[in-house]
Structure 1
Amino acid sequence: MGGLITICPFTTFVMSVITVENISKQYIIDHQKGKGGTTLRDVIAENVRSIFGGKKEQDRVTHEEFWALRDVSFSIEQGDRVGIVGHNGAGKSTMLKILSKIIEPTTGTVRIRGRVASLLEVGTGFHPELTGRENIFLNGSLLGMTRSEIRKQFDEIVAFAGVEKFLDTPVKRYSSGMYVRLGFAISAHLDPEIMIVDEVLAVGDAEFQKKSLGKMRDNSASGRTVIFVSHNLTAVQALCNKTLYFEKGQLIEQGETNQVIASYLSKVSKTRLSREWDTPEEAPGNDLVRVRRFELTPEYQDDLTHIDVRTPMKLRFEFWNMMERANLNLSLHLNSLTGECIFNIGTKSQSYGKGLIAGECTIPGYFLNDGSYTISIMIVKDTVTPLYVMEEGITFDVEDYREGIAWYGKWPGFVRPQFPFTTEVLEEDVPVK
């Protein structure tokens, strides 16, 4: 027996407008096994074999149960702005599709009070052959609005979306940005009691993102409920007062946004900040040099347990030198996860005898942009001969942090320094021709 979704009349006092009780969603995945292949060559070979009396190999089909959601329960009150965070495959989109009545749950109950408008992907609810004008009326009618109600909002929708010149053009000719602007404008202005928005706002430009977040705040202030899914945690923090954290189909945590996001970041961090070996015999290296310790120590901000763009970091590298006397220096490479070298720095070459040698470097806060990074270090002799390279000895993530900035898209570049950059008035009241 499938799960249940019920729609109840909307009421104006503060209450739970969405109640999710023990929702699970199961999919059946088919796997084909056997000696017969699926390439064109394999198919031709199988057919030729059967023509000449050969026995055709039989494939076996096995079925695997996959649970996209498992026993999820939560409630959302009227006027809440709720963010949903988690990695790809966590179950976020499945949950939104259930709330939007696109799919039904396998088990459990969902109760929704009010009219729902959803923007889950580019072009949601659009008919590609219809014009922008026609799609506005189509979407409004799907939300249960009369033509006169749609006309009252029509001019505001068009102005918000900025598609006046293309209003009578079939939407199949729209760019992805135009699709999103019009889709969001329709969803936000046609008076839904509950508004569901997926990752699509990332397609828009900075001005559109700012307008959209402001509109969702306004909708919430007027008593409407907003559910917002995004990998951009800064946008979630800017908009949402509550957040749900999903992982592998389960609801891990729910509550106040800053607390849930801090918990999420601490749990999903992929960092490897320290590596250490007790004796030269077990340490990586060779007969000339061996590594004792490689460690990155962050100076966490505001009692956090994750690195963000503000966080200074100290890197320390220790190695045993087995040579009687050699001129040595360290060369450090910081790389992006995709392999681009962000910077390379080195120490001065000095003469060392046998013993334990240490090098230390500080990466200041407000230098690296958000992203994933690796650090490799090289021990060099006579400034030209690498003796040993430890590739990707340290891996770490830098999370975003912004204050007083309305841009919520991805900040460009690998570095994000705060160099002195000022403006001044050279002359006032200059007439402009």
Structure 2
Amino acid sequence: MSEVVIQVEKLSKVYRLGTIGTGYLLQDLQRWWTTTVRKQQDPFFQLPDAQSPNAAQSQALWALQDINFEVKQGEVWGIIGSNGAGKSTLLKIVSRIIRPSAGFVRGRGKVSSLLEVGTGFHSELSGRENIYLSGYILGMSKAEIRTKFDEIVAFSGVEKFLDTPVKRYSSGMYVRLAFAVAAHLEPDILIIDEVLAVGDAEFQKKCLGKMKEVAHSEGRTILFVSHSMAAITSLCDHGLWLQHGKVKAQGEVTHVVNKYLINNQQFKTKQSWESLSEAPGNDKIRFKSVELIPHLLQPDAPLDIRTPLTLKFQFWNFSDDILISTHFVLYSYGGECIFDVPSTATVFQKGLVSGECTIPGSFLNDGSYYISLFVVKDTSISLYDYEECISFDLEDYRSDIKWYGKWLGAVRPLLPFQLQQIE
């Protein structure tokens, strides 16, 4: 049975908003002595009751509240949540950078934290000197740095500029060298915060490959924060979802990620009206219903790029012998038109008209979209434009692809494409 290397119990962190000082020098000195030297609670700031109905209006901000989990040796945990959920605060407490307001963290083994790429770099020093400086600050000995020096340089890809001051590096070169140093640490526990937000596509691939090697080949324990759900799912076996400083879910990583994605997807996928007076339209056309139906691969799965989507709608037509077609127009939320698909023009009598169209799975790229329906007479005259009647999000899915940067393009179809050996 694996040994528990990180134990977090009833962990809370509260920050005081507004003025920091007490307004009196003697009290400020007393606070410094009590909190910094004696490591006790601030005598001038009482920990508020988080359950109090007035907690939201108090001068306290609960960054973390009653966090409990255990990490065993060799496990890789992905920590997810929206901005401000408390992810970075949790990593800083586990890394012993800040102290909790309540609860405790117990750890076993050497801990190295990569919370900010470029820790320990000095702009006036060369790349070679910064490798030694940053490596030492991150916990490596001079002998370890010397042993791994060539490997670090090769990983960074900045060999030609090794003796150039880093202040002349581009931001990409700086990031490459900084992560290369951090990637060659050998701690028992590695804590990483958002390293995938930097670097180009090629370097992101190298970073993820190195992290996977450290996690699965060398058996290190890793806490990994990222907004890339594809990277979290690929690298991690356990997940922890934080929301407003509280644990929303924890457990097997795919289950946690799916719950998080479903919670954060924005939907306006169904609208209907029984009364003509309330229905959108005019004296020629009024919509009765519009609905987007996802064909989910599993009942509890989020909408992702593999999910086929069927648009169904009905509208009342108030004219006889009229040639009607409907345009199904899909937009990204950036305003870009992805496609405009017209229906076959058909002659209709007064009454209810229905339409249906399916977007196949593995066609759209990930992102946020909305649908507009334009009803047209004689293929040229607008009867009614129902704009932004449906909105939805599609999440990414990479399967066995090892790169997790942004996939280019508005669409992402699966087309026949093969390579073959001819000689």
Shift of 1:63: 7.3
User: 1:43 maps to which residue?
Assistant: none
Matching of residues 396-411 of structure 1 within 5 Å:
396-411=392-407
User: 1:198 maps to which residue?
Assistant: 193
Shift of 1:25: 2.3
Percentage identity across paired residues of the two chains: 54
Matching of residues 282-431 of structure 1 within 5 Å:
282-426=278-422, 428=423
Give the Cα–Cα distance (whole angstroms) in 2 for the partners of residues 155 and 349 of structure 1. 68
Q: Deviations over 1:245-288 (max 9, x none)?
A: 11121111111111111221222221221111123222121222
2:11 equivalent to 1:23: yes
- Quick one: structure 1 residues 301 and 176, their matched pair in 2 at CA, closer, same or farther if it must change by over 3 Å? farther
Give the Cα–Cα distance (whole angstroms) in 2 for the partners of residues 125 and 77 of structure 1. 30
Give the Cα–Cα distance (whole angstroms) in 2 for the partners of residues 358 and 193 of structure 1. 62
SS at 1:290's partner residue? strand
- Match of 1:355, as an amino acid? G
Give the Cα–Cα distance (whole angstroms) in 2 for the partners of residues 128 and 118 of structure 1. 21
Shift of 1:375: 0.6
Give the Cα–Cα distance (whole angstroms) in 2 for the partners of residues 30 and 379 of structure 1. 56
Q: 1:251 is matched with which residue: 247, 263, 270? A: 247
TM-score, normalised via structure 2 length? 0.85
User: 2:220 maps to which residue?
Assistant: 224
User: How many correspondences in the alignment?
Assistant: 385
2:206 equivalent to 1:187: no
Query: Is residue 319–residue 358 contact of structure 1 (8 Å, CA) maintained in 2?
Result: yes
Q: 1:175 is matched with which residue: 162, 170, 179? A: 170
SS at 1:179's partner residue? helix
Q: Deviations over 1:147-196 (max 9, x none)?
A: 22221122211111122222222223333332332222222213122212
Q: Deviations over 1:105-139 (max 9, x none)?
A: 23221223233222223423322332222222223
Q: Deviations over 1:56-95 (max 9, x none)?
A: xxxxxx9743222222121212211111111222221222
Give the Cα–Cα distance (whole angstroms) in 2 for the partners of residues 130 and 108 of structure 1. 41
Query: Is residue 176–residue 203 contact of structure 1 (8 Å, CA) maintained in 2?
Result: no
2:149 equivalent to 1:154: yes
Matching of residues 30-179 of structure 1 within 5 Å:
30=18, 64-179=59-174
Deviates more, 1:238-247 or 1:128-137: 128-137
Query: Is residue 180–residue 201 contact of structure 1 (8 Å, CA) maintained in 2?
Result: no
Q: Deviations over 1:367-401 (max 9, x none)?
A: 10011111111112222222222221111111111
Give the Cα–Cα distance (whole angstroms) in 2 for the partners of residues 194 and 91 of structure 1. 20
- Match of 2:391, as an amino acid? T
TM-score, normalised via structure 1 length? 0.83
SS at 1:141's partner residue? helix
Shift of 1:239: 0.8
User: 1:41 maps to which residue?
Assistant: none
Query: Is residue 69–residue 249 contact of structure 1 (8 Å, CA) maintained in 2?
Result: yes
- Quick one: structure 1 residues 216 and 200, their matched pair in 2 at CA, closer, same or farther if it must change by over 3 Å? closer
Query: Is residue 138–residue 182 contact of structure 2 (8 Å, CA) maintained in 1?
Result: no
- Match of 1:397, as an amino acid? D
Give the Cα–Cα distance (whole angstroms) in 2 for the partners of residues 387 and 121 of structure 1. 56
Query: Is residue 271–residue 290 contact of structure 2 (8 Å, CA) maintained in 1?
Result: yes
Query: Is residue 330–residue 369 contact of structure 2 (8 Å, CA) maintained in 1?
Result: yes
Give the Cα–Cα distance (whole angstroms) in 1 for the partners of residues 67 and 417 of structure 2. 49
Deviates more, 1:275-284 or 1:200-209: 200-209
Give the Cα–Cα distance (whole angstroms) in 2 for the partners of residues 121 and 146 of structure 1. 20
Give the Cα–Cα distance (whole angstroms) in 2 for the partners of residues 151 and 14 of structure 1. 33
- Match of 2:211, as an amino acid? M
Give the Cα–Cα distance (whole angstroms) in 1 for the partners of residues 107 and 126 of structure 2. 31
Give the Cα–Cα distance (whole angstroms) in 2 for the partners of residues 236 and 253 of structure 1. 15
Q: Deviations over 1:284-323 (max 9, x none)?
A: 2122211111111111114443211111111111101122
Structure 1 unaligned spans of 5+: 1-12, 32-61, 429-433
Shift of 1:200: 2.3
User: 2:47 maps to which residue?
Assistant: none
Deviates more, 1:263-272 or 1:356-365: 263-272
Query: Is residue 153–residue 190 contact of structure 1 (8 Å, CA) maintained in 2?
Result: no
Give the Cα–Cα distance (whole angstroms) in 2 for the partners of residues 133 and 17 of structure 1. 34
Query: Is residue 150–residue 190 contact of structure 1 (8 Å, CA) maintained in 2?
Result: no
Give the Cα–Cα distance (whole angstroms) in 1 for the partners of residues 170 and 107 of structure 2. 33
User: 2:44 maps to which residue?
Assistant: none
Query: Is residue 188–residue 195 contact of structure 1 (8 Å, CA) maintained in 2?
Result: no
- Quick one: structure 1 residues 94 and 175, their matched pair in 2 at CA, closer, same or farther if it must change by over 3 Å? farther
- Match of 1:255, as an amino acid? G
Give the Cα–Cα distance (whole angstroms) in 2 for the partners of residues 222 and 305 of structure 1. 32
- Quick one: structure 1 residues 174 and 197, their matched pair in 2 at CA, closer, same or farther if it must change by over 3 Å? farther
Q: 2:264 is matched with which residue: 262, 265, 268? A: 268
Give the Cα–Cα distance (whole angstroms) in 1 for the partners of residues 139 and 279 of structure 2. 70
SS at 1:201's partner residue? helix
Give the Cα–Cα distance (whole angstroms) in 1 for the partners of residues 221 and 173 of structure 2. 25
2:266 equivalent to 1:278: no
